[in-house]
Amino acid sequence: MKARNLLSAVLAVLICPVNSRADAPIGRAVSLKNLDYAVKTDASDFTLGLCGLTRINGFIIDEKNKDIILFGEASPSADKLHLDDLIIAIRNAKSAAVKPPACSIDPDPEVLRQLLDIDSRMRKTNDPDEKRKLGEDYTAVGKKPQIVRIEGVPIDTHFADVMVRADYEMKAAADGSSDLKLGGFKSLMDLRAEQAELSLKRGEPLPSSIRSVNRFWFVPAKYTYSSGAGAVILQDCRVELLTEEQYLNAAGSLTSTGRADPFAKQFAESFSANYDRIAEVKPVYRELRELYRLVGLAKLLKDTGAVKSYAANLDYLLSKHRVEVVPVSRSLPGIASVREVTAVIEKPTETIKRYLWLSSCGGVSMDVRPAKVSLPTMSKQNDSDKKHIAGIKSAVLGARKSAKTLYWDFKLPS
């Protein structure tokens, strides 16, 4: 009896996660086959929250039970994932005719024409009061509604809402109206204002700032995975912010210049480098990063044939489940900013005031294309990555109590 109790204790240690911190993530696995049945018969907040998963690290094919097992992390300090987001990603990946998920928030060309007119009048006058009034006009015009466009996914969903909020928050960070308070990170307005002040002190002219518009958009910078033994492990998934300069052509539409404004490029590179820090301040960027992982996961589920092989056991989730309606605005107020830049010129001493103004458009592109790589920590041995993947599969399936278990915890590999 004592020996049996000792064996049980040892097995508990091997199967159950051991964490020294209360907020440390635990390993969690979820059966898609049983999740399909659970949501079909009695959907709950728990099942719609992917049984507490906060990150998916891959999936395993359970040939014996004709099941797909998602595995990842369940962290008490992180927001739960949304089953609806995964379903939308899988449905999008299944259809070759549907475009990848994407969003954009674009200004009306007529608004841009009005801003160009204000810019022209601003440059022609030397009256400080008139310049200030024109600055107010610019802000008012720049805040006129911009059109929200969604591709590849239903618009009134949490998935689309995350893309739109991430894009909108980025624009606020660019023009400085949203201070992220991160050391070493500067808004696009800050970068331009610093250069403008320096130019004023040197007696150099300030360039016009709205002859062109900066477009920003998020893309998957890198998405890698390893696979073998009926398992797929997601590795790196980085989000990158890109930019290009656009101008208003004679036909009244925005046209790419094929180049990036130096300051906009500096801002985009800084945003990308500080993405994880920004996500701590603005949780929507963690949500966006997880969406990219789900889109990549969905493509791998399709490309490996997993969804096709077990479609009969996932019929409700794949075709019948109705995702929750999350209203998404069809238009949002534009984000425009005017900043007064002052420099003191000596000999003679003089205070010079100039104005800077920003306008931008952009979006989110989720054309994720996963690339297969070997596990970097196991590259010295030819078959070591296969053994590592097989070990993870064994740990996950070994911790499952029965074929009817919906979810279970397992020990995360060190």
50-95 pLDDT, tens per residue?
Answer: 999 999 999 999 999 999 999 999 999 899 999 999 999 999 999 8
Provide the pLDDT confidence category of residue 200 given band limits of 50, 70 and 90. Answer: confident
Q: What are residue 158's phi and psi, to 5 degrees?
A: -60, -35
Statement: residue 153 has pLDDT above 50 = yes
Q: Per residue in 104-124, is it b (16+ CB within 10 Å) or e — as a string? A: bbbbeeebbebbeebbeebee
| For range 367-393, the mean pLDDT | 66
Angle at 96 between CA 95 and CA 98, to 5 degrees: 70
| For range 41-53, the mean pLDDT | 97
Provide the pLDDT confidence category of residue 237 given band limits of 50, 70 and 90. Answer: confident
Angle at 123 between CA 119 and CA 129, to 5 degrees: 95
* 338 beta partners: 357
Statement: residue 209 has pLDDT above 70 = no
Do 148 and 330 touch, CB atoms closer than 8 A? Answer: yes
Q: What is the pLDDT of residue 321?
A: 98
Do 68 and 310 touch, CB atoms closer than 8 A? Answer: yes
Token pair 């201070």 in the structure block, residue:
179
Q: What is the pLDDT of residue 41?
A: 96
Does residue 110 or residue 350 have the better pLDDT? Answer: 110
| For range 152-166, the mean pLDDT | 97
Q: Per residue in 219-230, is it b (16+ CB within 10 Å) or e — as a string? A: bbeebbbbbbbb
CA 41, distance to chain mean position in Å, is 32
Provide the pLDDT confidence category of residue 206 given band limits of 50, 70 and 90. Answer: low
d(CA 277, CA 272): 10
d(CA 153, CA 162): 12
* 220 beta partners: 239
Provide the pLDDT confidence category of residue 383 given band limits of 50, 70 and 90. Answer: low
**What rounded mean pLDDT belongs to the chain?**
85
d(CA 230, CA 208): 58
- Residue 320 CB burial class (10 angstroms; 0-12, 13-18, ≥19): exposed
Q: pTM score, two decimals? A: 0.86
